[in-house]
Amino acid sequence: MAPFDPMEPFADPALLADLIGELSKFEYKLYGAIPLRFHRGEATKYEFDLNLGVVHFTEQDCKGLSEIFARTNAKWGTEMTYCIYPSKERARDMILNVRGSPMAPAEID
């Protein structure tokens, strides 16, 4: 793998494609694979949001997502994290926020 700035992981197209590829194949317990749609624009070099639609997360889903991030972090030497939050723009839609860097802006409402 070519070197990249770990504070700007998603500036590396290969890393971003690898993670998006893994997330697009993930089988949610109740829904199977969910088509990925970026929420509020494309990925920045620090983070991105995916709108998953109306989703009920199970413990199995959280464990599976955590395993994807653990594998990807080990492979690339990154410290990416994720969180899940409800969309303000679309009632009931759930957003998967992926943070690749502590330099990502904090948004608190």
Residue 68 has which token pair? Answer: 């994807």
Q: Which amino acid is at 17?
A: A
- C-alpha 17/C-alpha 86 separation (Å) is 25
Q: Cα 16 to the chain's mean position, in Å?
A: 10
Instruction: Give me the amino acid identity at 26.
Output: F
Domain ranges, ordered by start, for the chain: 9-99
Residues in the chain: 109
Average pLDDT over residues 3-28: 93
Dihedrals φ, ψ of 36, to 5°?
-85, 130
Confidence of residue 4 (pLDDT cuts 50, 70, 90): confident
What is the structure's pLDDT at 8?
93
Alpha-carbon Rg for the chain, nearest whole angstrom, is 14
Q: Per-residue confidence at 109, pLDDT binned at 50, 70, 90?
A: very low
Chain segment 64-83, per-residue pLDDT in tens: 999 999 999 999 999 999 99
Task: Specify the CATH number for 9-99; select among 2.60.200, 2.40.160, 1.10.10, 3.30.70.
Answer: 3.30.70
